[in-house]
């Protein structure tokens, strides 16, 4: 299937800093691609490069099969990380203006604005000014502004930050609805649990480079399936001889064994030495959070 968006070997320099290094990825139609990475990894630069807010120094962007400098603006919905709307203006005025800038018909925009305001519990707020709304409400208005014109490609930068759990669920459901109605979504977030929950594929970057890329299953498989966390005073213990352990992390009184693919935890536990001091023992499936932390820390040694 032809990807909706294909970014190939994007490079970007700020002064002498090489902030994007041969970054390539694809977003397929009707999928949610999560873009994750620690602060300063290059996520926002990647996003801004495909949006045409600025241009990469090299590399190509192919949208709907055509090479272009950026995604056509009327097909693009964007929720930036830096939240903000005209504080002194009314909700409906702002929504209609932003829809107008996307060449979306005003009558349809009005209907969609009303539909979304109601859906997000903001009915009756059409004439309120943004400064009169709570932070969460303003964020909902901003979300509406990014999808009001029925974009086929949506970029959401940290959509869940600052939201209460109820609103987070509403947003998650709405993002899924948009995906199900055929929109392609590029979602950047630090909250790994959300990414794990709603993204179809993942693109993890650090220091301007792509480190992991694939479906959630592929990424988890490429890392490890299980992890055993042993709490106790074991820092003197040599565990290197244990088969089926890919990586050992030690922090204070925790020793974490990351198991190789297809290795059963029981086989590893049997190999623990007699003198192992155990106050608690946890066996878990590895989470995206663990992969993220491990990459982010590992990435530090990668510094140029």
Partner 1 sequence: MKNSWKVAKWEIRRNLKNKTFLVSIFLTPVLFLLFAFLPNVISSFDSGEEAYTLHVQDEIGIFPQLEDSVTQMGEHIAVQQIDDSPSILEEIKEDKTQGVLVLDQQALSEHRVTLYQGGEESPNIDLQHLQAVINHLFQQHTLTELGVSAEDVAMVQREVMLEQQNLVEDTADPMARIIPGAFAGIILFGVVMSGMTTFTSSTQEKKDKISEILLSSVSSTDLMQGKIWGYFILGIVQVFVWLAFGIPTAQIYFDIPVTDYLFEPKLLLLLVYAIGGYLLFSSIFVAIGATLDDMNTAGNFVGFIFMLPFLPLVFIGSIIGNPNGIIAQIVSYIPITTPSVMVMRLTFSNDIPILEIILTLALLVVSIWAAMKLAGKVYRTGMLIYGKNATPQEIIKWLRE
Residues that bind partner 1 (CB under 8 A): 48, 51-54, 73, 76, 78, 80, 82-89, 93, 97-98, 100-102, 142, 145-146
Task: Report the residue number, 71 or 245, with the smaller CB distance to partner 1.
Answer: 71
Q: How far is the CB of 191 from partner 1 (least distance, A)?
A: 21
Q: How far is the CB of 46 from partner 1 (least distance, A)?
A: 14
Q: How far is the CB of 34 from partner 1 (least distance, A)?
A: 20
Task: Report the residue number, 45 or 206, with the smaller CB distance to partner 1.
Answer: 45
Q: How far is the CB of 270 from partner 1 (least distance, A)?
A: 55
Task: Report the residue number, 189 or 224, with the smaller CB distance to partner 1.
Answer: 189
Q: How far is the CB of 142 from partner 1 (least distance, A)?
A: 8
Task: Report the residue number, 83 or 190, with the smaller CB distance to partner 1.
Answer: 83
Task: Report the residue number, 85 or 91, with the smaller CB distance to partner 1.
Answer: 85
Q: How far is the CB of 17 from partner 1 (least distance, A)?
A: 13
HSE-CB for 141 with a 13 A CA cutoff = 32
Task: Report the residue number, 5 or 211, with the smaller CB distance to partner 1.
Answer: 5
Task: Report the residue number, 163 or 295, with the smaller CB distance to partner 1.
Answer: 163
Q: How far is the CB of 282 from partner 1 (least distance, A)?
A: 41
CB 156 within 8 A of CB 4: no
CA–CA separation, 61 and 64 (whole Å): 10
């Amino acid at each position: 299937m032809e990807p909706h968006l294909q970014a190939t070997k994007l490079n970007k320099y700020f002064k002498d800093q090489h902030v994007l290094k041969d970054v390539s990825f694809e977003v397929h139609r009707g999928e949610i691609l999560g873009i994750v990475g620690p602060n300063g990894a290059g996520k926002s630069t990647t996003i801004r490069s495909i949006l045409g807010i600025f241009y990469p120094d090299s590399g190509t962007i192919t949208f709907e099969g055509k090479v272009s400098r950026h995604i056509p603006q009327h097909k693009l919905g964007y929720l930036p990380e830096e939240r903000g709307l005209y504080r002194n203006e009314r909700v409906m005025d702002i929504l209609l203006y932003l829809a107008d800038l996307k060449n979306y018909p005003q009558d349809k925009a009005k209907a969609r604005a009303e539909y979304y305001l109601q859906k997000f519990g903001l009915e009756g707020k059409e004439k309120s000014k943004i400064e009169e709304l709570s932070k969460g409400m303003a964020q909902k208005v901003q979300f509406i502004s990014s999808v009001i014109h029925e974009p086929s490609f949506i970029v959401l930068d940290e959509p869940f930050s600052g939201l209460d759990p109820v609103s987070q669920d509403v947003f998650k459901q709405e993002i899924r609805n948009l995906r199900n109605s055929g929109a392609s979504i590029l979602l950047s977030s630090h909250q790994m649990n959300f990414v794990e929950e709603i993204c179809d594929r993942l693109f993890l970057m650090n220091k301007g480079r792509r480190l992991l890329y694939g479906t959630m299953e592929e990424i988890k498989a490429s890392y490890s399936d299980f992890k055993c966390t042993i709490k106790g005073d074991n820092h003197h213990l040599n565990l290197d001889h244990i088969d089926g352990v890919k990586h050992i992390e030690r922090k204070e009184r925790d020793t974490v064994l990351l198991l190789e693919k297809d290795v059963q935890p029981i086989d590893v536990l049997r190999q623990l030495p007699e003198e192992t001091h155990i106050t608690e023992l946890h066996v878990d499936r590895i989470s995206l959070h663990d992969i993220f932390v491990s990459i982010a820390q590992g990435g530090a040694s990668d510094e140029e």
